[in-house]
Amino acid sequence: MKGDLVMDVVKLPYKTIIYIPLKDGHNKALSQIAIDILLEECLKQLISLGHGATVIDGMGYWEEQLSGAITSSKTKLIICYVADIKKAEVLILKLALWVKETTDSEAICFEINNCLYIV
C-alpha cells in the first residue's frame, strides 16, 4: 500500500432488527400507504440511533398455536446497528408495540444481538 492509510472507524456493536408485517391481524393485506408509514417511522427512529438502516424483504413462517398449521406471510425486516444498546432496547420495544397496535397484529417480533423477542 502506498502511503499511510488514515481513516475514521466507527464501531456499532449492537444489531437490531424489527419485523414489519405486510398483513394486518385479520390476514388482510396492508395498503402500500400503511406499509410506507410503518417503514418511514421505524426507519426515522432507528436511524436516529445508528445513523443508517437496511430494509430487506422476507417471508415469515410460524406454527399456529391452536391448529398446529404452518402459516406464512411476507414481511419487511429493518436492520440497524447501534452503539447505545440501552437506548435501542427502549426504542425498539416502543416501535414493536406501535407496529402491533397499528396493524392490529397478534404478535410482532424484533431482535437485539441475535435474540428474538415476541410482543
Residue pLDDT tens, the chain, 119 long: 566 676 788 899 999 999 999 999 999 999 999 999 999 999 999 999 989 999 999 999 989 888 999 989 999 999 999 999 999 999 999 999 999 999 999 999 999 999 999 99
Q: Which grid coordinates are listed for 14?
A: 449492537
Report how far residue 22's alpha carbon sits from residue 78's, in angstroms, rounded to the nearest whole number.
13
State how far the alpha carbon of 89 is from the alpha carbons of 10, 78, 110, 117, in Å: 20, 15, 10, 11
Our separate counts of H helices and E strands in the chain read 2, 5
Q: Which grid coordinates are listed for 69?
A: 398449521
pTM of the shown model: 0.89
Provide CB contacts within 8 A for 87, sequence distance 6+: 49
Report how far residue 34's alpha carbon sits from residue 22's, in angstroms, rounded to the nearest whole number.
9
